[in-house]
Amino acid sequence: MGKKRDNMEGLKDKIIWVPFANLRKAEWNYKLDEPEKEQKLLEQIRKNGILETSLVRELPKGLYEIVDGNHRYDVYKELSVGSVPCFTLGKIGLNEAKRIAIEKNETRFASDPLKLSMLFKEISVDFKPAELSVTMPYSEEEVMSMIKLIDFDWGQFGTGGEQGIGETKFRISLSVGEKVFRQWEKLVGEDEEEKVFGEAVKALVVSRK
């Protein structure tokens, strides 16, 4: 059983700058290499700078193994970054490092597709879809589809009466990728507005055939 850590004590001392030459990728890292995502990550760092620390553990001779941030290592190498901000876990064992990596990587929260689409709609005032697609894990087409989703007149999908969903057929001309479609497909809300929206999104199936 792993030792319980008190991360609040001496927190500042755990954030250090490590020369790139002293970093080592974890050979046991289980995350897949995805060139397209790596390119987007590179563009993110090129545009915004380094916004997060890499999680490392101390090795002998002043070296540090990356517990979380192995793909960033490749980007830093391509960008010729001299030193990297890191959060050190200290001299922990290999299995504890693996456990922390799994916890860190797999504790992810799902996105609300409707709210995400609304955010894209709002930021599209300042940023074009082509620009957003360079640094985000979406294609330009997917970004445009999410914006169109918010622009679409969902009022045509009634909640009852003579023109209800069950009695009216619609064909929505939106082309989306598998990732975005799966996000929309999961839209099942509790209130009436979300239910209507969820039913409307089902019509997107016809645009994928």
Rounded to two decimals, the pTM is 0.68
Give pairs for 188-192: CB < 8 Å, separation 24+: 189/114, 192/159
Is there a contact between 57 and 97 (Cβ–Cβ < 8 Å)? yes
* pLDDT single digits (tens) 145-175: 888 887 766 565 555 544 444 555 544 445 5
Which amino acid is it at 84?
A: V
Is there a contact between 100 and 89 (Cβ–Cβ < 8 Å)? yes
Residue 42 confidence (pLDDT): 96
Helices H / strands E in the chain, number of each: 9, 5
What average pLDDT does the chain have? 81
- Percentage of the chain surpassing pLDDT 70? 67
* pLDDT single digits (tens) 58-103: 999 999 999 999 999 999 999 999 999 999 999 999 999 999 999 9
Confidence of residue 182 (pLDDT cuts 50, 70, 90): low
Domains parsed from the chain with CATH numbers? 11-106 (3.90.1530.10), 113-208 (no CATH)
Comparison of pLDDT for 70 and 180, the residue scoring more: 70
